[in-house]
Amino acid sequence: MTASPQVVAPPGACDTHMHVYDSRVPALPGTPMPGDFPVEAYRQVQRRLGLARVVVVQPNAYGYDNGVTVAAMRDLGAGARGVAVVRSNAPDAEIERLTAAGIRAVRVMALGGTIGFDAMDAVVARVHPFGWHANIQLDGRELPEREAQIARLPGRFVIDHTGKFLEPVDVGSAPFAALLRLVDTGRCWVKLSAPYETSRTGPPLYEDVARLARALVRAAPERMLWASNWPHPSARGAVPDDADLLDLLLDWAPDDATRGRILVDNPAELYGF
């Protein structure tokens, strides 16, 4: 591992997508559990990268039980927010409790997650009045078919992992054009993250994903976010170095001002820091 990234994170820099796993809490049957990845291990990542804020995302392993995620947010302190999973009939008291704990979004994951597109509309309608947005992960190649449903969502929504196109696409492709149209709504935010999950060209630059990231930054720098996706539960092969992932911003957003927006200003606006 490199000692530290080349990117000097500005004050208030935020990692908008990571997970905490507690080996003492059993995973749902048939759900991958990558191991024990506690808050203290992530704090070392924070310190090395110079990050001050974080968004803890509910892992698939725990389904509707947000206990590990909420405990992690509490332990990480005032600089932590979260993304939870709730049912469409969750009582007000439960959503209010999670909101008070720092939850700001509901996770929709069409790739074998707890909430898919069939339940998305009802769940988002339930949590939107509490100020939550939708955090959506899908195979980006499905965006032309899903675009209308996503665009109908109330309020803001986030698309994970630079669109997560499970097979590389070009910036001129129909799926990427659908993502850009969603960005053009002014309500769509995109996490520039986890290129190792989908890239065929591979490290260090992940050029097939990088060209999409650069196009997204050009289109809407005010709504791009950065995330580590620590502890990289879906990494194929070697686990990437978090410092190397942060340094990808040198290519994707070459100027300091834009990187400052992506790391500080944009997440502060979206998550209420």
135 catalytic per annotation: no
Distance CA 49, CA 253 (A): 17
Instruction: Identify whether the C-beta of residue 251 lies closer than 8 Å to the C-beta of residue 214.
Output: yes
User: Whose CA is closest to 165, among 134, 127, 206?
Assistant: 206
Which is nearest to 38 in space by CA: 75, 12, 8, 78? Answer: 75
Q: Which of 259, 15, 220, 17 is nearest to 135 (CA)?
A: 17
List C-alpha distances in Å: 31 to 67, 86, 91, 234: 17, 18, 26, 12
Angle formed by the axes of helices 143-151 and 174-184, nearest 10° = 10
DSSP at 198: T
**Sign (positive or negative) of CA dihedral 7, 270, 148, 124:** positive
Of 60, 66, 135, 229, the active-site residue reads 229
Calpha distance 48→242 (Å, rounded): 9
DSSP 69: H
Beta bridge partners of 21: 37
Those residues with Cβ within 8 angstroms of residue 123's Cβ, 6 or more apart along the chain or in another chain: 86, 87, 88, 106, 108, 115
- Distance, in Å, from the CA atom of 181 to the CA atom of 215, rounded to the nearest integer, reads 13
Task: Provide the annotated active-site residues.
Answer: 229
